[in-house]
Structure 1
Amino acid sequence: MSQLLKLGIPKGSLENATVELFRQAGWTIRLSSRNYFPAIDDEEMACSLIRSQEMSKYVERGTIDVGIAGRDWVMENDSDVEIISDLVYSKVSRRPARWVLVVTQDSPVQKPEDLAGKTISTELVGFTRRYFAERNVPVEVEFSWGATEAKVVEGLCDAIVEVTETGSTIKANGLRIVETLMESTPVVLVNRQAWQDPWKRRKIEQLNTLLQAALRAEKMVGLKMNAPHERVEAITGILPSLNRPTVAHLYQSDWVSIETVLHEGEVRRIVPELVKLGAQGIIEYPLSKII
């Protein structure tokens, strides 16, 4: 029997973005509302849908060889796994999620130490307990099943530890951020024994390389054009590129073909300039991977 890599796909907020990222990287994952084992077009891999909050537990015990989950939940579970890379999904957010210590606007608390002897409500119980224990600040940490912000507003606790990106919702609820305790992005995490297996390591490295290549290609496009040879210096002088633009002579002609890679937001600015400099036949095309 051939070897099999067991892959964990995060169920929930990252689910669709992860499947789309795999599509860009070269794998088709087919989800079904009726089961937790998506099909993947790779006979050397098998998928399971697992909540990000639990992913690191299954990876640590080896039920899953490699998975994707938020770094925050790896830290919450204090899991002994190998984190090999970060994945920042532009289709979810370009900002890391922040877990912040929050109080009401009129609270006397100005720093974490001011909460000694107080009660904190959060979903991130393990991490919060360790955070305050490392600073020798005695607090009572309670698990919150939801509506965490309302608990501090209603006086059911003295502070909360909540996740945010911009902090705007926290401000809108009349609350104040005391301190950021952790920043989190999705990560690729690997079982340590799987990482030591030569076949699985090669497969995981292939997977990670192509996922990172797909991420690098997001919002990037290729631009190709023809131009007179005497205009090459002027045109390449304004072209952004990963290294330097590619210039190739056209067959039996004193014209050249110029090709580069740039952010799609730059195209609308730069194309009119290229036309003024004599570029013709300008083509923009999408990119799926940059390696």
Structure 2
Amino acid sequence: MKQLKLGLPKGSLEKATIALFESAGWLIKPAARNYFPEIDDPELICSICRPQEMSRYVESGMLDAGITGKDWIMENQSEAVIVSDLVYSKVSRKPTRWIIAVAGNSDIQCLEDLEGKKIATELVNVTTRFFKGKNINVDIEFSWGATEAKVVSGLADAVVEVTETESTIRAHGLRIIHELMESNTQFIANKDAWNDPWKREKIENMSMLLQGSLRADRIVGLKMNVPEGKLQGIVDILPSLNAPTIANLYQTDWFSVETVISEDVVRDLIPKLKKNGAEGIIEYSLNKVI
């Protein structure tokens, strides 16, 4: 039996990734202190590894495909195939950001003020290329963690760190002077695996289902009964992906109307539908929108 070696990210994205695969149709069962979780697909072999290392393993062929961040693909200058973006809306509504920050009371106000200064970061290669492109000479030091604290303790003049809400940055009394880049989760593939017809089809099918699950995250189905005389008025106010589905109710002058809409508009829409003659309104969640 042919099998595809799939890498799943360890750390903050691990639970969200497993949940995403479950909604897409794959049940993954991680085990304590085990980096090879079970999956209910005999065509897949799963491994869990750090996102920082994922692109190297995929590029080398140790893994056929994997999920990691755009930032670590750039850091490793990986030549793996980018299959698709996976913006995990259940984790964050927007991409993460890599920023340059200094102490709140620092005299450093702009990038040029960092000339000759020490910068701590885990994203060493990207940071090096950035400042080289700006012709600003800085001393870049790899940070194993707790990067924000290095400015507070005087071990660095600035940090390049990732943030979603800036809460940790503010908690350490730091001030952002520049945004280096945005990053999001990406599904990547090894070039040889991508050129293998069976593996490519497996990877593309996985990508399609994962994307479908992400699209369905903030979309719901809405179904209702509408009398014939009120039908046009309901259709006029009813949003949909393409057009609502309308069917006659058996031996009546009523219609069943069904649509798929953004979850954000439901709370305002249902009272309007009720006011305009809709009855038996049902809202239901979706697993995938392909």
In which range does the TM-score fall when normalised by the shorter chain? over 0.9
Do residues 71 (structure 1) and 70 (structure 2) align? yes
- Please show how residues 80-91 of structure 1 align to structure 2 within 5 Å: 80-91=79-90
Does the CA contact (< 8 Å) of 2:10 and 2:48 recur in 1? yes
Q: Offset at 1:244?
A: 1.4
Tell me which amino acid in the other structure corresponds to 1:219: R
How far apart, CA to CA, are the structure 1 residues paired with 2:273 and 2:126? 53
Q: Offset at 1:226?
A: 0.9
Paired position in structure 1 for 2:222: 223
Q: Offset at 1:135?
A: 2.1
Q: Offset at 1:149?
A: 1.4
Q: Offset at 1:175?
A: 1.5
- Farther off after superposition, 23-32 or 273-282: 273-282
Paired position in structure 1 for 2:31: 32
- Please show how residues 1-291 of structure 1 align to structure 2 within 5 Å: 2-291=1-290
SS in 1 for 2:34: coil
How far apart, CA to CA, are the structure 2 residues paired with 1:45 and 1:154? 47
Does the CA contact (< 8 Å) of 2:83 and 2:204 recur in 1? no
Q: Offset at 1:27?
A: 0.8
Tell me which amino acid in the other structure corresponds to 2:25: G
Q: Offset at 1:107?
A: 2.5
How far apart, CA to CA, are the structure 1 residues paired with 2:54 and 2:103? 33
Tell me which amino acid in the other structure corresponds to 2:151: V
How far apart, CA to CA, are the structure 1 residues paired with 2:115 and 2:83? 37
The RMSD of aligned alpha carbons is 1.3
SS in 2 for 1:31: strand
Does the CA contact (< 8 Å) of 2:58 and 2:65 recur in 1? yes
Q: Offset at 1:163?
A: 0.9
Q: Offset at 1:30?
A: 1.0
SS in 1 for 2:235: helix
SS in 2 for 1:275: helix
How far apart, CA to CA, are the structure 2 residues paired with 1:78 and 1:213? 29
Q: Offset at 1:42?
A: 1.1
SS in 2 for 1:214: helix
Tell me which amino acid in the other structure corresponds to 2:180: L
How far apart, CA to CA, are the structure 1 residues paired with 2:270 and 2:134? 56
CA displacement, residues 229-273 of structure 1 (integer Å, 9 cap, x when unaligned): 121111111112111111112222211110011122322222222
SS in 2 for 1:236: helix
How far apart, CA to CA, are the structure 2 residues paired with 1:127 and 1:133? 10
Gaps of 5+ in 1: none
- Farther off after superposition, 164-173 or 29-38: 164-173
TM, length-normalised to structure 1: 0.96
Tell me which amino acid in the other structure corresponds to 2:125: G
SS in 2 for 1:108: coil
Q: Offset at 1:165?
A: 1.5
Tell me which amino acid in the other structure corresponds to 2:89: S
Tell me which amino acid in the other structure corresponds to 2:73: V
How far apart, CA to CA, are the structure 1 residues paired with 2:47 and 2:260? 36
How far apart, CA to CA, are the structure 1 residues paired with 2:97 and 2:204? 28
SS in 1 for 2:102: strand
How far apart, CA to CA, are the structure 1 residues paired with 2:114 and 2:271? 59
Tell me which amino acid in the other structure corresponds to 2:135: N
Does the CA contact (< 8 Å) of 2:89 and 2:217 recur in 1? yes
Tell me which amino acid in the other structure corresponds to 1:133: K
Tell me which amino acid in the other structure corresponds to 2:60: R
Tell me which amino acid in the other structure corresponds to 2:210: L
Corresponding residue pairs, total? 290
- Farther off after superposition, 109-118 or 191-200: 109-118
Gaps of 5+ in 2: none
How far apart, CA to CA, are the structure 2 residues paired with 1:225 and 1:153? 58
How far apart, CA to CA, are the structure 2 residues paired with 1:228 and 1:112? 65
